[in-house]
Structure 1
Amino acid sequence: MTSILTNSSAMAALSTLRSISSDMESTQGRISSGLRVGSASDNAAYWSIATTMRSDNKALSTVQDALGLGAAKTDTAYTGLNAAIDVVSEIKAKLVAAREPGVDKTKIDKEITELKNQLVSTATSASFSGENWLYNDSTTAIGTKEMVGSFTRSASGSVSVGILEFDAATSVLIDTVDSDNGQLTKAIEVEQGANVGTGTANGTYYLVLASGGTAPTGADSISLTSSTSSEDIDGMISAVDAMLTSLTDSAATLGATNKRISMQDDFMADLMDVIDKGVGRLVDADMNEESTRLKALQTQQQLGIQALSIANSDSQNILSLFR
């Protein structure tokens, strides 16, 4: 039946054209944004996962910044410790040289004094962002230092921040308040003279006395005079060697912590990349597919317009029946 009131063909063609236009709008949106799932209405599950993981990636980026700060602090402390080890080794060598008969011990002592000043300078300079793990002039002892190391999300959805720790008390070289807390200011008991090998200490020495600090009770300074005995020099050498051992252990621990931070930083960078790729697989648009779909829709749109034009012309053809 042909009706001039109801054009079924035109209505069908118009409906098809509207559907094609809607699909084109969606496809163009994907092409312009690059996202297959750009909002919750596109795919609620994928959008929720992607939004959460993007948020976690921002947290991981902050963790990476914190790791960089931790690495800078440990690098600074390690550099200072390493320099201190070199200086203490030099002091040990000077004491061994003082053991030589006929050597002017007072001149060697002047060299040792300058080396001590260098140790103080090294300890006070090893500071980063206001933190110094080698020098303490506070009434509060330097304790364990914490550094943000990770951000994790459990299977239940709860989140937590991982912490890396370093006991900075082991790296303090100089403590001006409590000399016992400093590797170079504390008293070192040694066996010397007839007591060597007996297990009974009969000599106590310290290396550095910081400005404003108090010498350990009952301990002698590692310094030389023209009358310093060979027995005392041997005791000083033993004390300095014990300090070297302690400093080496502390530097090794600090170096291991620094390596851990470096490895964690690399892992964080890789993890962020993997998460980005995973989110991309969920929500990113395949541009090859979308461009092909757009071409097809453009063709369909042209055909739809042509079909609508033909359907609209049918009613005009009725006029020829009345001529």
Structure 2
Amino acid sequence: MASIMTNTSAMVALQSLKATNKALEVVQGRISTGYRVAEASDNAAYWSIATTMRSDNKALSAVQDSLGLGAGKVDTAYTAMNDAIEAVDSIKTKLINARGASGENQTKIQAEIDILLDQIRDAALGANYAGTNVLATDSTAPLEIAASYNRASDGTVSIGTISLDLTGIRLVAADGTTVDATQHLAHDIMQIDVVANGSDASIDAYLEDVETALGAMSTAAANLGAVKNRLDLQKDFVSNLMDSIERGVGQLVDADMNEESTRLQALQVQQQLGIQALSIANQNAQNILSLFK
């Protein structure tokens, strides 16, 4: 039936054109943003997962900064500790030379030892990084370094840390002085005075103190080196983990440009055909006029 009141063909063509235009808007949005899931309305589940993963990556970025800061502190202390060990080695040599030496020579040797003792103190006091010094400190609390951001399956989160025990690492007090040997490694060797106590027995006792200090410092340097290596490994792991999460987010929400460009071309053809179909349907009413001529 031909009707001028209801153009069914035009209605069908118009609905088809609207659907094509809507699909075209979606594809153009994906191409312009690079995302197939840019908003929650695109895919609520994927959008929520991606948002959480992006948030975790920001937290991991902060962890990476913390690891870098912690590595700087430990590396500075490690360098200073090695310098102090070299100074103690030199003191041991001076003590051996002082054994049996004349009083005048012992005075000269003590002057050299004093310089080395100052070097140990200066190395400890100079091992400051970002306001933290683990070699010249009064604190016994361990140095805690944020090393990981963990999300459990139930959604709860926690911060993992790498801890550095300062008890066996501190060389001197925060002001450069020494307390008892159980608290600061450099205590006994800082008391060396071959002018006041230059007998062979006294020097032998000093040598025992030096050996004890060297052993403790070597252990401290080994502990610092182990923590330093642990921090370097963790930094690499966190960096790789961030890249992995970024790839995972991309797989969820990124648009496939090859696919979208192909779809865009197909929809543009459909749009042109839809416009032509609507034009043809609208011409049906004009065709009815020919019946009355």
Give the TM-score category using the shorter length: over 0.9
Does the CA-based 8 Å contact 1:106-1:226 persist in structure 2? no
Does the CA-based 8 Å contact 1:77-1:134 persist in structure 2? yes
Q: Tell me the residue number matched to 2:122.
A: 121
* Residue segments in structure 2 that go unaligned for 5+ positions in a row: none
Q: Work out the CA distance in 1 between the residues paired with 2:116 and 2:179.
A: 22
- Taking structure 2 as the reference length, what is the TM-score of the superposition? 0.94
Q: Work out the CA distance in 2 between the residues paired with 1:302 and 1:143.
A: 74
Q: Work out the CA distance in 2 between the residues paired with 1:232 and 1:80.
A: 29
The alpha-carbon distance between structure 1 residues 226 and 160, as it changes in their structure 2 partners (threshold 3 A), is closer
Q: Tell me the residue number matched to 1:134.
A: 135
Secondary structure of the 1:170 match is: coil
Q: Work out the CA distance in 1 between the residues paired with 2:195 and 2:248.
A: 72
Q: Tell me the residue number matched to 1:104.
A: 105
1:216-252: per-residue Cα shift (whole Å, max 9, x none)? xxxxx31212972223222211210110000000110
Which AA in structure 2 matches 1:143?
A: A
Secondary structure of the 2:229 match is: helix
Match of 2:277 among 299, 307, 322: 307
Match of 2:184 among 176, 182, 185: 182
The alpha-carbon distance between structure 1 residues 238 and 310, as it changes in their structure 2 partners (threshold 3 A), is same
Q: Tell me the residue number matched to 1:156.
A: 154
TM-fit CA distance, 1:25 = 0.3
Secondary structure of the 1:174 match is: coil
Q: Work out the CA distance in 2 between the residues paired with 1:168 and 1:101.
A: 39
Structure showing greater relative contact order (alpha-carbon pairs closer than 8 Å, 6 or more residues apart): 2
Q: Work out the CA distance in 2 between the residues paired with 1:143 and 1:282.
A: 44
1:194-219: per-residue Cα shift (whole Å, max 9, x none)? xxxxxxxxxxxx222xxxxxxxxxxx
Q: Work out the CA distance in 1 between the residues paired with 2:196 and 2:184.
A: 29
Does the CA-based 8 Å contact 1:104-1:226 persist in structure 2? no
Q: CA RMSD in A?
A: 1.6
Does the CA-based 8 Å contact 1:133-1:142 persist in structure 2? no
- Taking structure 1 as the reference length, what is the TM-score of the superposition? 0.85
* Residue segments in structure 1 that go unaligned for 5+ positions in a row: 186-205, 209-220
Does the CA-based 8 Å contact 1:183-1:246 persist in structure 2? yes
Which AA in structure 2 matches 1:182?
A: H
Write 1 or 2 for the structure with the bigger share of strand: 1
Matching of residues 23-34 of structure 1 within 5 Å:
23-34=23-34
Pair 1:229-2:231 in alignment? no
Secondary structure of the 1:306 match is: helix
Q: Tell me the residue number matched to 2:81.
A: 81
1:137-182: per-residue Cα shift (whole Å, max 9, x none)? x5xx432111111100111111100111111121111123733411
Secondary structure of the 1:128 match is: coil
Does the CA-based 8 Å contact 1:147-1:165 persist in structure 2? yes
TM-fit CA distance, 1:122 = 1.1
Does the CA-based 8 Å contact 1:24-1:294 persist in structure 2? yes
Q: Tell me the residue number matched to 2:167.
A: 169
Q: Work out the CA distance in 1 between the residues paired with 2:113 and 2:72.
A: 31
Pair 1:35-2:59 in alignment? no
Secondary structure of the 1:131 match is: coil
